[in-house]
Each structure stands twice: as C-alpha cells, then as structure tokens.
Structure 1
Amino acid sequence: MQLELALEMQITLGPRMHIHMDGYTRGAVLIEKGTFRGPGISGRIVPGSGGDFPLVQADGNGRFESQYLLETDDGAFILKRSTGIRHAPPEVVAKLLAREEVDPSSYYMRMTPRFEAPVGPYEWLNRTIFVGVGQRNPDGSLFRFWKVV
C-alpha cells in the first residue's frame, strides 16, 4: 500500500457555537471560505455550505465530523464528508480552543474523508480511500489528503 497526495485545503472558519451536554460539548464551526488544490483538481470551498462539528470530551479531546461543498474551477460540485480524531495535552487543547498558534506536531489530528463527485473527470474521488491530516491555525484549518493506492 502506498499514499499519493490528492489535495490540500485551506479553510477559514467562522465563530464557534457550542451545545454543552453532560460530559461533552458538541461544537459547530461553519465554513466562511476556502480553497483546495491537488494534481488535476482545484477550486473553492462553497461559503456557508457546511462546517466542522466536533464532539469534545471533558478533557478537550474528541472526534469530529465535517461536511461541506467544493466547487472546482470548471464548475463541478463535490460533497466532502469527513470523520476524524483530535487529541492533545490539556495545555495544547486550551491554545487550540483559544485560536492561538500551536505547533502541529504537538497534537494528533487525523481524518478519513469521503467524496461524492459527479460523473466525469472527478469521479475517481468516489472510488478511492483517503486519509488526511489536519492543522489548526488561528483563523482556520489546513488539511492534506492522500489517496491510498
């Protein structure tokens, strides 16, 4: 098994909203804007088309789900869904939640994205398994996705 870089996404996130439950918090962070680029594919993240919805445990670690639309430079729409895990020491989680700059090697943020692409030049996204790594920045996130070949 090998990995090949498929695409990279740079996303600007909006304000965080929280639902505080017994023992965990469900977050909602909507997409304000973003771009993506990879071999043979590029475009923008459709603003307001979705967001990240983390399930944060009392210790600050947790799982997340995301869903939003991509629009390629040639006008195709692709639905991207992802699930993942983020964990870090409490002091790193506090900095991430405060939207401070944090060394990406100080936390674990991995995901498995799935895509729904139309028939045509991007349908390879429908037939491929991907793995990804995330990096939080003060105003958004950077994601890199690799094809499992």
Structure 2
Amino acid sequence: MKLEFALEMRISLGERMHIKVAEDYTRGAVLIRSGTFSGPGLSGQIVPMSGGDFPMVRADGGGRFESQYLLRTDDGAVILKRSTGLRHAPPDVVARLLAGEPVDPRSYYMRMTPRFEAPEGPYDWLNRSIFVGAGRRNPTGSVFRFWKVV
C-alpha cells in the first residue's frame, strides 16, 4: 500500500461546548464557522455552520471524535465529509487543548479516517477511495491533512 496526498483543510471553529456526560468522559461540541480546503484537483470552502466536530474525551486524556460538515468546491459541487478518529495525550496536554491554548502537535496523537460523499463527475474518486488523516488543533480551529490509500 502507498499513500497519496489528497487534500488539506483549514477550519475555523465556533464556540466550544463541553458536556460532562459521566465521571470518566466529557463530550465536546463545536460548529464549523468557516474554512478552506485544497489538494490536487480540488479546492473550495467549507460551508459555514453545516456541521461540526464532536469529540469524546476520557479523563485519562484519550478519546475519539466524530465530525460531519459540507464542502463546496470552487466550481460549485457540494461534498459531504464525515470522519471518525482518535486523539490521545497526557492529561495536562488535553487540559490545554480543551482550554483552547496553543499546544505543540507533536505532544498528542490525532488521526482519523474520513469518508466523502461526492456527486458524479470530477470528484467521484472521493467516493471510491479510502483515506487516512492527521490533525492538529490551534486556539481558533484545526488543520487536517488527508491521504488517499492507493
């Protein structure tokens, strides 16, 4: 197997909300304010308020997350992007991430498997491929890089 770079997303996030679900984890919720994406053969904007990120953070610093939102290509195609992933870090790093502080991306693990639903035509390859990704958080948003498994 090989990996081929597919795209990068730069996302601006809205207010972060945290729901203390049980003693051992907290559910986060944050809507997408705006963003852009680009890669070989596609680029565009993330549709504002079309979805968000919903992480589940355990007390030990580990957790998983789900996200869903819409992408609009520069030529007007709309693509649904869904993703699941894992993030783990030492508890002090998680606390800084949850507080919206800058954190060195090498201090935590953030990997995901996105799925795309694209219309027929030039973006159909997104429907027929498996992708893996890596992410990093910053105080106002996230950056995700995705690779196609070939």
Report TM bin, short chain: over 0.9
- Tell me which amino acid in the other structure corresponds to 1:42: S
What aligned pairs does 1:33-52 form with structure 2 within 5 A after superposition? Answer: 33-52=34-53
What does residue 95 of structure 1 align with?
96
Q: Is the 8 A contact 2:67 2:84 kept in 1?
A: yes
Residue equivalent to 2:57: 56
TM-superposed CA distance for 1:17, in Å, is 1.4
> Percent identity, aligned pairs only?
78
Distance across 1 between alignment mates of 2:66 and 2:58: 14
Count of aligned residue pairs for this structure pair: 149
1:10-25 paired onto structure 2 within 5 Å: 10-22=10-22, 23-25=24-26
Note the alpha carbon deviations across 1:15-40, whole angstroms, 9 max, x for none.
11122112221111100000000000
Contact 2:59 2:91 in 1 (8 A): no
1:148 CA displacement: 0.3
CA distance in 2, matches of 1:107, 1:7: 22
Instruction: Give a deviation string over 1:70-90, Cα, whole Å, max 9, x none.
Output: 000000000000000000011
Map 1:71-82 onto structure 2 (within 5 A).
71-82=72-83
Q: SS in structure 1 opposite 2:15? A: strand
* 1:106-145 aligned within 5 A: 106-145=107-146
- Matched letter for residue 7 of structure 1: L
Q: Is residue 66 from structure 1 mapped to residue 67 from structure 2 by the alignment?
A: yes
**Where does structure 1 differ by over 3 angstroms across 4 or more consecutive aligned residues?**
none
Q: State the TM-score, normalized to the length of structure 1.
A: 0.97
Following the alignment from structure 1 to structure 2, what is the Cα–Cα distance between the partners of residues 110 and 75? 29
Superimposed CA distance per residue, residues 42-92 of structure 1 (whole angstroms, 9 cap, x where no aligned partner)? 000000000000111122320000000000000000000000000001111
Deviation at 1:135, TM superposition (A): 0.4
Residue aligned with 2:16, SS: strand
Greater shift, 75-84 or 85-94, is seen at 85-94
Alpha-carbon distance between aligned partners in 2 of 1:58 and 1:27, rounded to the nearest angstrom: 13
Q: Which runs of 5+ in 1 are unaligned?
A: none
Give the Cα–Cα distance (whole angstroms) in 2 for the partners of residues 43 and 146 of structure 1: 18
1:92-147 deviation per Cα after TM superposition (whole angstroms, max 9, x unaligned): 11111111111111100000000000000000000000000000011000000000
SS at match of 1:15: coil
Structure 2 distance, partners of 1:123, 1:79, is 12
Alpha-carbon contact 2:18-2:26 (below 8 Å) kept:
yes
Give the aligned CA root-mean-square deviation in angstroms.
0.8
